[in-house]
Chain A
Amino acid sequence: MWYAVISEDIEDSLARRLGARAAHLARLTALVDEGRLLLAGPHPAIDTEDPGASGFTGSLVVVEFPSLEEAEAWALEDPYVAAGVYDRVVVKPFKKVLP
Protein backbone atom coordinates (compact mmCIF):
# COMPACT_ATOMS: atom_id res chain seq x y z
CA MET A 1 0.00 0.00 0.00
CA TRP A 2 0.97 3.67 -0.05
CA TYR A 3 2.97 5.32 2.71
CA ALA A 4 3.48 9.04 3.31
CA VAL A 5 7.06 9.83 4.31
CA ILE A 6 7.00 13.23 6.00
CA SER A 7 10.45 14.61 6.71
CA GLU A 8 11.51 17.77 8.54
CA ASP A 9 14.86 19.39 7.85
CA ILE A 10 17.38 20.80 10.28
CA GLU A 11 17.69 24.61 10.17
CA ASP A 12 19.50 25.92 7.08
CA SER A 13 19.65 22.56 5.34
CA LEU A 14 20.18 23.86 1.81
CA ALA A 15 23.93 23.24 1.44
CA ARG A 16 23.56 19.70 2.77
CA ARG A 17 20.59 19.10 0.49
CA LEU A 18 22.57 20.12 -2.58
CA GLY A 19 25.47 17.87 -1.57
CA ALA A 20 23.34 14.73 -1.29
CA ARG A 21 20.66 15.56 -3.86
CA ALA A 22 21.90 13.32 -6.68
CA ALA A 23 21.91 10.21 -4.47
CA HIS A 24 18.55 11.19 -2.94
CA LEU A 25 16.94 11.60 -6.38
CA ALA A 26 18.44 8.36 -7.72
CA ARG A 27 16.50 6.36 -5.13
CA LEU A 28 13.29 8.14 -6.03
CA THR A 29 13.68 7.77 -9.79
CA ALA A 30 14.29 4.05 -9.29
CA LEU A 31 10.85 3.87 -7.65
CA VAL A 32 9.28 5.91 -10.45
CA ASP A 33 10.60 3.29 -12.89
CA GLU A 34 8.88 0.61 -10.80
CA GLY A 35 5.60 2.56 -10.64
CA ARG A 36 5.88 2.85 -6.85
CA LEU A 37 6.09 6.62 -6.43
CA LEU A 38 2.88 8.65 -6.20
CA LEU A 39 4.50 12.03 -5.56
CA ALA A 40 7.65 13.53 -4.11
CA GLY A 41 8.99 16.99 -3.47
CA PRO A 42 10.33 19.45 -0.91
CA HIS A 43 8.55 22.15 1.10
CA PRO A 44 9.90 25.62 0.17
CA ALA A 45 10.74 27.64 3.28
CA ILE A 46 8.94 30.68 1.85
CA ASP A 47 5.74 31.06 -0.13
CA THR A 48 7.10 30.43 -3.61
CA GLU A 49 8.09 27.40 -5.69
CA ASP A 50 11.66 28.69 -6.06
CA PRO A 51 12.78 29.81 -2.58
CA GLY A 52 16.41 30.43 -3.59
CA ALA A 53 18.74 30.75 -0.61
CA SER A 54 15.81 30.32 1.81
CA GLY A 55 15.81 26.65 0.87
CA PHE A 56 13.41 24.02 2.11
CA THR A 57 12.00 22.90 5.45
CA GLY A 58 11.34 19.26 4.63
CA SER A 59 10.00 16.77 2.11
CA LEU A 60 6.88 14.80 1.36
CA VAL A 61 7.13 11.48 -0.45
CA VAL A 62 4.24 9.07 -1.07
CA VAL A 63 5.60 5.67 -1.96
CA GLU A 64 4.43 2.07 -2.23
CA PHE A 65 5.75 -0.68 0.05
CA PRO A 66 4.50 -4.08 1.23
CA SER A 67 4.55 -2.97 4.89
CA LEU A 68 5.02 -0.01 7.22
CA GLU A 69 8.20 -1.61 8.52
CA GLU A 70 9.75 -1.72 5.05
CA ALA A 71 8.66 1.85 4.30
CA GLU A 72 10.27 3.05 7.55
CA ALA A 73 13.50 1.19 6.84
CA TRP A 74 13.63 2.73 3.35
CA ALA A 75 12.94 6.21 4.74
CA LEU A 76 15.76 5.96 7.27
CA GLU A 77 18.21 4.91 4.57
CA ASP A 78 17.60 8.10 2.58
CA PRO A 79 20.91 9.84 1.78
CA TYR A 80 19.40 12.97 3.34
CA VAL A 81 19.47 11.17 6.72
CA ALA A 82 23.19 10.35 6.45
CA ALA A 83 23.92 13.85 5.14
CA GLY A 84 22.19 15.44 8.13
CA VAL A 85 19.48 17.17 6.07
CA TYR A 86 16.59 15.60 7.94
CA ASP A 87 16.09 15.96 11.66
CA ARG A 88 12.85 14.00 11.89
CA VAL A 89 10.99 11.55 9.68
CA VAL A 90 7.45 10.28 10.19
CA VAL A 91 6.05 7.45 8.07
CA LYS A 92 2.29 6.91 7.95
CA PRO A 93 0.10 4.52 5.98
CA PHE A 94 -1.69 6.49 3.26
CA LYS A 95 -5.00 5.80 1.54
CA LYS A 96 -5.32 7.47 -1.84
CA VAL A 97 -8.94 8.56 -2.34
CA LEU A 98 -8.79 11.41 -4.89
CA PRO A 99 -8.37 12.27 -7.70
Chain B
Amino acid sequence: MTSSREERIRQQLQRTLDPLELIIKDQSQLHTGHEGAKDGKGHFDVTVVSQAFAGLNRVQRHRIVYDALRDLLESDIHALRINAYAPSER
Protein backbone atom coordinates (compact mmCIF):
# COMPACT_ATOMS: atom_id res chain seq x y z
CA MET B 1 0.00 0.00 0.00
CA THR B 2 2.62 2.47 1.11
CA SER B 3 5.13 1.44 -1.55
CA SER B 4 2.54 1.60 -4.34
CA ARG B 5 1.65 5.13 -3.30
CA GLU B 6 5.29 6.07 -3.41
CA GLU B 7 5.53 4.41 -6.82
CA ARG B 8 2.57 6.40 -8.15
CA ILE B 9 4.19 9.64 -7.01
CA ARG B 10 7.45 8.56 -8.63
CA GLN B 11 5.83 7.70 -11.95
CA GLN B 12 3.92 10.96 -12.23
CA LEU B 13 6.93 13.11 -11.39
CA GLN B 14 9.14 11.12 -13.78
CA ARG B 15 6.66 11.61 -16.57
CA THR B 16 6.06 15.35 -16.14
CA LEU B 17 9.40 16.67 -14.88
CA ASP B 18 12.00 14.34 -16.38
CA PRO B 19 14.06 14.70 -13.19
CA LEU B 20 17.82 14.24 -12.98
CA GLU B 21 17.33 13.30 -9.35
CA LEU B 22 14.20 12.19 -7.53
CA ILE B 23 14.02 11.21 -3.87
CA ILE B 24 10.69 10.35 -2.26
CA LYS B 25 10.44 9.67 1.45
CA ASP B 26 7.26 8.32 2.98
CA GLN B 27 7.02 9.97 6.40
CA SER B 28 3.50 8.86 7.20
CA GLN B 29 4.68 6.85 10.20
CA LEU B 30 5.86 10.08 11.83
CA HIS B 31 2.32 11.38 11.77
CA THR B 32 0.30 8.34 12.90
CA GLY B 33 -2.56 9.40 15.14
CA HIS B 34 -2.11 13.05 14.17
CA GLU B 35 -5.32 14.85 13.11
CA GLY B 36 -4.35 14.96 9.44
CA ALA B 37 -3.53 11.24 9.31
CA LYS B 38 -7.12 10.19 9.98
CA ASP B 39 -8.15 10.27 6.33
CA GLY B 40 -5.64 7.49 5.61
CA LYS B 41 -3.57 9.60 3.22
CA GLY B 42 0.17 9.91 3.62
CA HIS B 43 2.87 12.43 4.41
CA PHE B 44 5.67 12.58 1.86
CA ASP B 45 8.94 14.44 1.48
CA VAL B 46 9.93 14.88 -2.16
CA THR B 47 13.24 16.15 -3.52
CA VAL B 48 13.26 16.82 -7.26
CA VAL B 49 16.06 18.14 -9.46
CA SER B 50 14.78 19.15 -12.88
CA GLN B 51 15.56 21.54 -15.68
CA ALA B 52 11.87 22.49 -15.52
CA PHE B 53 12.61 24.56 -12.40
CA ALA B 54 15.32 26.74 -13.97
CA GLY B 55 14.49 30.43 -13.67
CA LEU B 56 11.42 29.86 -11.48
CA ASN B 57 10.88 30.99 -7.91
CA ARG B 58 9.92 28.57 -5.14
CA VAL B 59 6.18 29.17 -5.37
CA GLN B 60 6.20 28.50 -9.11
CA ARG B 61 8.25 25.32 -8.57
CA HIS B 62 5.87 24.10 -5.89
CA ARG B 63 2.93 24.72 -8.20
CA ILE B 64 4.49 22.60 -10.95
CA VAL B 65 4.94 19.72 -8.51
CA TYR B 66 1.40 20.08 -7.15
CA ASP B 67 0.04 20.17 -10.70
CA ALA B 68 1.93 16.99 -11.55
CA LEU B 69 0.43 15.23 -8.51
CA ARG B 70 -3.05 16.81 -8.64
CA ASP B 71 -5.05 13.56 -8.59
CA LEU B 72 -2.82 11.95 -5.94
CA LEU B 73 -3.35 14.95 -3.67
CA GLU B 74 -7.02 13.97 -3.70
CA SER B 75 -6.50 10.26 -3.11
CA ASP B 76 -3.11 9.50 -1.53
CA ILE B 77 -1.28 12.55 -0.25
CA HIS B 78 -2.28 14.46 2.86
CA ALA B 79 0.89 16.51 3.24
CA LEU B 80 3.79 17.11 0.90
CA ARG B 81 7.14 18.67 1.72
CA ILE B 82 8.72 19.75 -1.57
CA ASN B 83 12.39 20.45 -2.22
CA ALA B 84 12.70 21.57 -5.85
CA TYR B 85 16.04 22.43 -7.45
CA ALA B 86 17.29 23.33 -10.88
CA PRO B 87 20.34 21.28 -11.98
CA SER B 88 22.64 24.30 -11.57
CA GLU B 89 21.74 24.51 -7.87
CA ARG B 90 22.94 20.99 -7.02
Which A residues are within 8 Å of any B CB, using their own CB? 73, 76-77, 81-82, 84, 86-89
Contacts and interface: CB of A to CB of B under 8 A. Distances in A.
Interface of B: 57-60, 62-63, 66-67, 73, 79-82
B65 to A, nearest CB: 9
Contacts of B80: 77
16 contacts: A76-B58, A76-B62, A76-B82, A77-B79, A77-B80, A77-B81, A81-B63, A81-B66, A82-B63, A84-B63, A84-B67, A86-B59, A87-B60, A88-B57, A88-B59, A89-B59
The main secondary structure of chain B at its interface with chain A is helix
A73 to B, nearest CB: 7
Contacts of B60: 87
Contacts, number: 25
A81 B59 contact: yes
Contacts of B59: 76, 81, 86-89
Instruction: Choose among A77, A82, A84, A87 the residue with the greatest number of B CB atoms under 10 Å from its CB.
Output: A82
Given A73-B81, A76-B82, A81 B57 contact: no
A82 B66 contact: yes
Nearest to A89: B59
Given A76-B59, A81-B66, A89-B59, 8 more contacts: A73-B81, A76-B82, A77-B79, A81-B63, A82-B66, A82-B73, A88-B57, A88-B59
